Structure formats: C-alpha cells, structure tokens
Structure 1
Amino acid sequence: MPEPSPSPKRRGRLLRCGAACVVLSAVAGYVVVQYVTGGAGDPGCRVVSADGAAYEFTPEQAVNAATIAAVGTNRDMPERAVTIALATALQESALRNLDHGDRDSLGLFQQRPSQGWGSAREVRDPAYAANIFYEHLAKVPGYTGLPLTVAAQRVQRSGYPEAYAKHEPDATLLAAALTGTSAASLTCEGRPDAGTAVATATGPDAVRAALVRDFGRDALQQAGAEVGAEETSPADVGPPVAETDGRTVTLPVAEATATDGPEALRRGWQLAHWAVANASALRVERVSYAGREWVAGNTRSTWRPTGPADAGAAGATGAGDGSGSVRIVTAQ
C-alpha cells in the first residue's frame, strides 16, 4: 500500500530546508575556492618571464607583493626567501591584507596575535607582517635548500602544509621581477583601483613616504635619497632627490663597475618595478630606467626603449653599464 503524500505544510518545510542546504553548500564551496585558490579580482598587473611564463594579478596584490619583496631585500634576504614569502602570502591571503581569518588570523600571512606574532594592528601592517615572517624564516636551518612548502610550513604551522607548493611558479616569477633579477618584466595598468589603499597624499611626497615605508630610511639614504630627519609621514619626508615641475622623483642608482654591475642593475630594476606595482595607489604615470620606460595605460603594455633601440635592448636584458637613475613621474 503506497505511503501517503506529505502534507503541504511538511512539503514546504522540506523545500525550504533543501534550498537552505543548496545555498549553504554554494557559500561553503565559494569560501573554500577563495581560500585555496586565491580568489583575486580582475587583473591589472602582469609579470612575464624571458621564456614566456606569465602571472596576472591585481593592483592591490601588486602593492603588497612589492612590499614583501622590498622588506626582504632590505633585510639582505636572498631571492629564495622572497619567493617563499610570496608563495606563503599567496596561499594565506591571496596577497590581500585581510581583516579576518581562521580564529584570530589577520593580514597577508594570516598571523595570529594570540600566538605571539604581534598586535592585531601590527600584523595588518604589510611591512611589519613581512618583516616578522622573514625573522622567523631566517631561523629555519638551511631554508634556502628546503622544498618551498617545507620552509613555509616551518614558519606558518598551517593546517594545509602542502598548499604552498602550488604557488611556487607564480611566486618565483614575482620574486624575480620585484627583486630586480628579471628586468623590464612587470607592467600594470596604472589606473586607480578600488581595492588598493588610497594614499594619504599624492605626488612625489606620497612616493617618497611609500619608499620609506617599504625599503626603510637607511636604504634610501644609501641610494642618495633624502627622506627627512625624524618622521616618515608624507608631510615630513622632504623634497625628492630631483624634481621636475613638482611631479618627478629621481632615485640615483650606483653606477655599475666590473664587480658590482649586476647588483646595481638589480637594485635599479627593483625600484622601477616597485614604482610600477604601486602605480594605481600612488598615481604614478611614468617610470623609466636603463633606457626603458613604462607608461600607465594597460596591463599588456611593455617597457619601451627611450633611446636608440640597441641601448634600450641592452638595458632591458641587463647588459650595458647599468648606470643611471630611476625616474618616477606622478600625476600630480
């Protein structure tokens, strides 16, 4: 004998429960995908290697990646350390400065104040978060020779230790560009981005303050930049090294010699790529270095020669004497 059909009231409850389960499953799936894969928005920046490998990312991610790389080189950490840090941040936050996470995890590296990483405010400061990550990484014996996922896990103690590995190719591309090893390889649209923190000031003052934030006062003074006496706020960082019509910051790069030529070029390209990565946030319109120039426009734009074709090609590949300055032209 067939069972009686459920009453309309019961049938309505079943339909509502089923719909709720579908919604919850979709939300849970979305959260997992966002956390595991990175969940970035529309790309506005692009890194392309010499062999054609490419990685596209957003202006918000570019600013944070540039900070991570700058803090690492300012600590004299090797490029491998920067790669590990970038892969970790890609997995933990998709290079976004999150104000939430598992339990009390926050920021780029999802560091937990309750576990001694710093205050909630500190771990949401990208420069602080990167610095303390490197501090812990430096204590891992032989980390440069370890598989990336192992080195990252010894710092992070994550519940998903294998997840870092899938970000290694992208992190390697980013690290090469943002440490200056890969010349003329990073471009961005340069248009203001809603996801990027708005600078408290614009023009050269904002650029100088951001340089101090990421590279530190001492690093800029060694490069010949004057950054003021005490404070690092935009109003107090002093005039740029060289200024044209109130819009241009010029950063001298040590002239290359037979022994330090590659290092001088790397430093110049790191500063140039840093400026491009920050273009949306700081309203940078143009960056030039070593016979090449980037102009804000679109993510597919390339570093164009600024002089004879052969001189531009030499600068882009790292050949030539590497002398010159990084010139950053702002919108105002």
Structure 2
Amino acid sequence: MLTIAALLLSLLFPAAYANLANCQWLADLKTPPPASAPYFCLESWLQQASLEGYDTMSPPRELGGNTNPVFVDVGINIFKIVDIDIKNAIMELSVWLRMSWTDTRLVWDPDVVGVSQLAYYASNDREQTTIWVPDLELYNQYESLYDFADKPAQVFPNGFVFWSRPGPLKVLCAFRDLTQLPFDKPSCAFELGGWAKSGYDVNYEFMSPPVSFSTEESAATTYQQYKIIGDDTRTNRREYFYPCCPNEPWPVLQYEVTLDRAASYYVLKVIVPNILFAFLSFLVFWFDVRTGERLSFGVTILLAMVAVDIISSELLPICPEYLFIEVLVAVSLLFAFLALCETCLVVYWYYKR
C-alpha cells in the first residue's frame, strides 16, 4: 500500500514528492526545517547538524579543568552462562553491556525541531562511530570488549546517551574456594576500567543496579552445570594510581560473581563409584586363599578405580591445593591397594608353607 501511495504521489505531485524524498532542507544545517517536514527528514537534519564539527576522539567534558570529567554509568545484564572452564580458569557469559553518559554537544530543543529521540551509530572503532564512546575495557580479559557487536546509541534532547549492546564476556578467572569441590561455590572476579583516559577525563561509576539478570524465557539456565547466585554477586569501585601518572586516578569497577555447582554429577560418577569400589576391595578377605580369582578380583577393582580417577582428572584443575574429590579418590585407591597387598602376602605365605 505504501509503495502504491508513493507511486501515485510521484505521478500527481512530482515536485512535492521530490522534496519529500530528497529532504531538500538538509542543505542548510543552520536553519531548522519547517514543522511540516516529514519526521525522517527532521531526524536526518538534526543528526547532520549536531555532528557538524564533532570530534569522536574527544570526551564531552565541560569547562572547569580536571574537576569536571565525563561521568559514565556502567551496568551489566547477565543473560546466560555460556561456559565455565574451571581447569583452564575461563568463564564466558552472554551479557548486555550498558553505559550511559551526557554529551552536551548532542543537545537540542524538541519543541523547535519536533524530535524526541535519536539513534546514532556507535562503535569502539573510531573510524566507524559517529559519536564519542567510552574506551571501557576488560582488564582480566580472554577476549576484548571491543569484540562486542556495534549497536546504535539512544540519544535524548538533554544530551543523555544510553548505549546497550550484547556480546560474550570472556574472563580469565582466579577461581577461589575450590577446595571443597564438588560441594564448593567458586567465585570469579573481573574488572572494567578505562584504557586510555584516566579519571580526570572519564569517571566510571556503577548503574543502579550494577548487575541484573535477564528474566526472558530464553535466558533460562536449565540443564547446566553452573548457575549464578544472584544474592552473592558483589561489586566494588577502586581507584588505582600508576607510576606513569601518580596524580591521575584510574577508576576500576570490580564485579564478583559466585557460582553454584551441580554436584550430583560428581557424586554419581566419581564419589559413589570410588566408595563402592573401596568396599568391594575388602571382599577379598572372605575369599578362600586357594581360589585363584582372589588375586584377579583385587587387581580388577584397583584397575577400575584407576580408570575412574583418569576420567575425573579431566574435570579438575591442576593446583597446589588438595581438593576434596582428589583426597577421596586417593584414599579409596589406598584402601584397594592395601587390600591387594594383603592378598598377595596371604597367598605367598600359604603356598610357601
């Protein structure tokens, strides 16, 4: 229908249609277009007028020296856990990274122009972005935040900019509290901060709330080994001072998430088999010494426990601490080994006599 209407308009009123399609008011960026102009023409004129002479490398700082940096609020919405690799100390989350700030260069009067909201193309690539964006970076990164998808930023008449974009948050974690594995609650901390601009230029703070969790049905975390304990998620803001610039603060936003592990898998696949094998290894004491299967039974039990140990070792990190599951497996192997040694001694002394 719209195509037919546009065709009829172009045939009946060719001059008017040309003005409508080409937005001829864009030629003069100093004079706002008339109120009767189409809305998309008003948006195009406003975007071009506000970006004339705009420098995407310079933060929108106000006058007043170092006392007036750009305040950027940062928030993270965790959509889903993608992967938790305890062995390689890597955590990958699917998140929506949100930032908001005020850019006074993008202010306009909605009563004059008639536009209540604009969308500017925003990117960490300085050759692609149309507006200034914070150079926020993940410090303990496995992959950079610059790999997030480029999304438009919403800009409002008072210069308020809201930029939200989805992407994978891949973090190199220093997992803590692993000694009780698999009944542990490991935690991972990651830090976000400016890369090239100190706190004198850009000051990062937390949104309210600093961390949120998606409630969409597609964000459900069923049939996963880990889930995030929302009540145990902690945030902390710090300021670092580096030797290069001891008088410049570098604000850093720290997030710490605590994970709840599905321990039933380890219980059924590792803990219960090792305990059962340890008890079975004691059955050789009830075998008659003249039974040849007594020795082979003990060897079979020991080999089965070694096989379980090899499989479980693929799930465990290599660390100097003694983990609960490693101690359990070691003790079970020790019982089976002692039972086999006792069998060998009994058989040896019986036939020697």
Same topology, TM > 0.5: no
Q: Which has the higher strand share?
A: 2
Larger Cα-atom Rg: 2
Q: Which has the higher relative contact order, 1 or 2, with Cα contacts under 8 A spaced 6 or more apart?
A: 1
TM range (shorter): under 0.3
